[in-house]
């Protein structure tokens, strides 16, 4: 068994391997930790080896007695890497990994809730997929349907507005499951083909519904300094899974409604010009509504540059204990 140690500024970190199921010896081709690195910002980068094509779940603990799922990872070349951006805010962090049986797993970070884990899978730009309680939720399946190849079909589809990086009718048709339901603002609904309208619940700003056990609150999403997204036409969404609240901004600036959001556990925040907001405005908003975790997304600007996410993380700092997760959106 490979047991690497790492010295951080305040603690010793121990990583080890745990297999699901009955206790047994460590086979040569089963996953194990191969390295730990402390980054300059005190985040921890984990390296693992595992059989090619395998799925592994990474768990974390602060006390070795209570463990929570951190991420589900897929092995392509036999190597895995994961950066733990929560580590700087904890006095101790322990890790374990286990290989998962089967091949039907959505990869991504875990949000642990009182009603089961939500798996968060970034797709591209403004599109993401969530898995919870055996159901698959798509947010803004825009662009080409090929972006979603290999992912499970959607049980619930949330559309924030009608721009083609958030909604393409042919893509929605391609990714929806046989019993899928859709949530959209009225402007999108009115432009839909009849077959999609028949599946769609319209939510206007400030209204709420409950679908598949998920509470869905529509939050205004609009521009303050341009006419790209007029007020009243687009939605952001707050999704409630058990005791946790997840916010997806859609295309918006740092509006009063965004700044006033209470008790957000995970936020997906758009930051690019001229469509949404600058990294500096996103920092200002986050420091006011204080989500526990933030994913910068929708951050490529007109020139193709993708520097806003890193700038946001640097400018936000660590004094409020807000974790920023930089993931591969492009």
Q: Are 54 and 24 in contact (CB under 8 A)?
A: no
Specify the residue for token string 């068994």: 1
Q: How confident is the model at residue 148 (pLDDT cuts 50, 70, 90)?
A: very high
241 pLDDT above the threshold of 50? yes
238 pLDDT above the threshold of 60? yes
Q: What is the mean pLDDT of residues 135-149?
A: 97
Q: How confident is the model at residue 16 (pLDDT cuts 50, 70, 90)?
A: very low
Q: How confident is the model at residue 23 (pLDDT cuts 50, 70, 90)?
A: very low
The pLDDT value recorded for residue 17 is 42
The pLDDT value recorded for residue 5 is 40
Rounded CA separation 115/265 (Å): 15
Among 136-140, 213-217, 270-274, the minimum mean pLDDT is found in 270-274
CB within 8 Å of 96: residues ≥ 6 apart: 15, 16, 17, 18, 58, 59, 61, 67
The pLDDT value recorded for residue 48 is 93
298 pLDDT above the threshold of 50? yes
Candidates 179, 168, 238, 236; CA nearest to 212 is 179
Fold of 5-103: Immunoglobulin-like (2.60.40)
ω before 227 within 30° of 0 (cis)?
no
SS3 259: helix
The pLDDT value recorded for residue 190 is 98
pLDDT, tens digit, 9 for 90 and up, residues 150-174: 999 999 999 999 999 999 999 999 9
For domain 109-324, is the CATH number 3.40.50.20? no
The pLDDT value recorded for residue 29 is 63
Rounded CA separation 44/35 (Å): 10
Candidates 102, 124, 226, 109; CA nearest to 175 is 124
Cα-based angle 289, 184, 142 (whole degrees, multiple of 5): 90
Mean predicted lDDT score pLDDT of the chain: 91
CB within 8 Å of 304: residues ≥ 6 apart: none
Domains of the chain: which residue ranges? 5-103, 109-324
pLDDT, tens digit, 9 for 90 and up, residues 38-66: 999 999 999 999 998 899 999 999 999 99
Percent share of the chain, pLDDT over 90: 85
Rounded CA separation 94/67 (Å): 9
67 pLDDT above the threshold of 80? yes
- Which strands make up the sheet holding 244-248, listed edge to edge? 208-211, 214-221, 234-241, 244-248, 266-270, 293-297, 323-324
pLDDT, tens digit, 9 for 90 and up, residues 255-296: 999 999 999 999 999 999 889 999 999 999 999 999 999 999
Candidates 57, 121, 44; CA nearest to 85 is 44
pLDDT, tens digit, 9 for 90 and up, residues 75-101: 888 889 999 999 999 998 999 999 999
The pLDDT value recorded for residue 284 is 98
The pLDDT value recorded for residue 8 is 40
């Amino acid at each position: 068994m490979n047991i690497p140690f790492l010295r951080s500024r305040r603690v010793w970190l121990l990583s080890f391997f745990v297999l699901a199921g009955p206790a047994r010896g460590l086979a040569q081709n089963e996953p194990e930790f191969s390295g730990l690195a402390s980054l300059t910002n005190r985040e921890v980068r984990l390296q693992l080896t595992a059989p090619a094509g395998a799925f592994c779940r990474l768990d974390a603990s602060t006390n070795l007695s209570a463990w929570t799922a951190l991420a589900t990872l897929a092995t392509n070349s036999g190597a895995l890497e994961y950066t733990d951006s929560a580590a700087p805010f904890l006095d101790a962090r322990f890790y374990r990994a286990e290989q998962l049986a089967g091949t039907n797993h959505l990869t991504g970070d875990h949000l642990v809730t009182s009603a089961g884990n939500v798996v968060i899978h970034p797709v591209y730009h403004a599109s993401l997929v969530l898995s919870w309680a055996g159901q698959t939720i798509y947010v803004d399946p825009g662009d080409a349907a090929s972006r979603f190849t290999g992912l499970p079909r959607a049980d619930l589809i949330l559309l924030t507005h009608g721009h083609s990086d958030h909604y393409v009718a042919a893509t929605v048709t391609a990714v929806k499951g046989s019993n899928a339901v859709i949530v959209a603002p009225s402007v999108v609904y009115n432009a839909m083909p009849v077959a999609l309208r028949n599946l769609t619940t319209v939510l206007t700003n400030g209204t709420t519904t409950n679908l598949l056990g998920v509470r869905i609150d529509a939050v205004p999403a609009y521009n303050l300094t341009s006419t790209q997204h007029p007020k009243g036409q687009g939605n952001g969404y707050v999704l409630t899974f058990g005791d946790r609240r997840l916010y997806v901004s859609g295309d918006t600036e740092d509006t009063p409604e965004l700044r006033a959001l209470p008790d957000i556990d995970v936020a997906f925040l758009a930051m690019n010009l001229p469509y949404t907001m600058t990294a500096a405005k996103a920092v200002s908003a986050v420091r006011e509504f204080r989500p526990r975790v933030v994913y910068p997304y929708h951050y490529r600007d007109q020139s193709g540059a993708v520097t806003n996410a890193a700038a946001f993380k640097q400018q936000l700092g660590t004094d409020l204990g807000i974790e920023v997760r930089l993931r591969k959106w492009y």
